[in-house]
Amino acid sequence: MLSKRSKTAQTAAAQPDVAGPRHVAIIMDGNGRWAQKKGKIRTFGHKAGVESVRSVVRFARESGVESLTLFAFSSENWKRPEEEVSVLMELFNFVLNNEVKRLHKNDVRLKVIGDTSAFDEKLRTKIQKAEALTEQNSALVLNIAANYGGRWDITHAAKLMAQDVLDGKQQLDAIDESHFGQYICTAGLPELDLLIRTGGERRISNFLLWQCAYAELYFTDTLWPDFDEKVFQTAVDDFKARQRRFGLTGEQVSVP
């Protein structure tokens, strides 16, 4: 028998007029375990995960998502074994070398969010070039979170804002949430609607802390290299079946 939840999900899936998420973020977790299950080394999973990235970008574009934010490397991931970190950096380089053209062709705007000052000069130049090349594209904004941490994002924003106060560009009394939000990495993009985490863990791992305020959370046991358009669609259908109340009552929200 179908549960109440899955019945609602089916109804929403059948209704094309239910609004889908405008901004989706994904914690792409489970690469290491995926590889280990196959008797391979962890980095094999990171390499396999690139194909899932391609497929989610395609899906997001085709389904009208405006912004897609992918967690590729956290500020804590530097603590992993040196060999793994270096393969992840090489992979980031490889993706920038080989995917940017295709992204540009598909009208995707690429942005790297996070503390890029930790990357070497060559990588930073590559990032800047890719961002400049795709700046005018408008089919989808693709944010790659690299050396990103939610606490870093908030601290960085606070520092930028404090500097503006010191420079007399920002009045202390005028600061409110929307002012502060302009200094956060995802400023100017739609509010985060849906956060997906693959790999079975039910935690945020210092991802988009500010942006998660009213995001819908979706956790799946699917390991990242197995994530595809079908799992993405299931997450979107689940999102569409939810009632987002933003502090109001259910009755207030359902009034036409």
103 touches which of Mg ion, ligand IPE, none (CB within 5 to 8 A by kind)?
none
What three-state secondary structure class fits 201?
coil
Residue 22 structure tokens: 């405008």
| Positions in the binding site for ligand IPE (CB under 6 A) | 27-33, 71-74, 77, 88, 199, 201, 203, 205, 224
* Minimum CB distance to ligand IPE, residue 203 (Å): 6
Is the Cβ–Cβ distance between 220 and 194 less than 8 Å?
no
Partner from ligand IPE, Mg ion, none contacting 242, C-beta within 5 to 8 A by type? none
| Least Å from the CB of residue 56 to Mg ion | 17
In the 8-state DSSP scheme, what is residue 116?
A: G
Task: Establish whether 106 is a catalytic residue.
Answer: no
Shortest Å distance, C-beta 212 to ligand IPE: 14
Catalog residues that contact Mg ion under the rule CB under 5 A.
29
What burial class does residue 152 get, using C-beta atoms within 10 Å of its C-beta: 0-12 exposed, 13-18 middle, 19+ buried?
A: middle
Q: Which of 102, 90, 112 has the alpha carbon at shortest distance from 58?
A: 102
- In the complex with ligand IPE, the residue whose CB is nearer, 42 or 104, is 42
Q: Is 74 helix (H, G, I), strand (E, B) or coil?
A: strand
What backbone phi and psi angles, to 5 degrees, belong to 76?
-90, -20
Tokens (6 digits) for 177: 């949430």
* DSSP H or E stretch at residue 7: helix 4-14
- The response to whether 33 counts as a known ligand-binding position is yes
Residue 51 assigned as binding residue: no
State yes or no: is 93 an active-site residue: no
- 80 marked as binding residue: yes
31 is in an annotated binding site: yes
Q: Which of 23, 240 has the CB closer to ligand IPE?
A: 23
- 20 carries a ligand binding annotation: no
Please give the distance of CA 88 from its chain centroid, rounded to a whole number. 18
Closer residue to ligand IPE in complex, CB, 130/144:
144
Among 119, 83, 126, which Cα is nearest to 101's? 126
Rank residues 29 and 193 by Cβ distance to Mg ion and give the closer one.
Answer: 29
Token reading at 69: 């934010």
Which positions are annotated as active-site residues? 29, 77
User: Annotated binding site for substrate, which residues?
Assistant: 30-34, 42, 46, 74-76, 78, 80, 197, 203-205
User: Annotated binding site, which residues?
Assistant: 29-34, 42, 46, 74-76, 78, 80, 197, 203-205, 216
User: Annotated binding site for Mg(2+), which residues?
Assistant: 29, 216
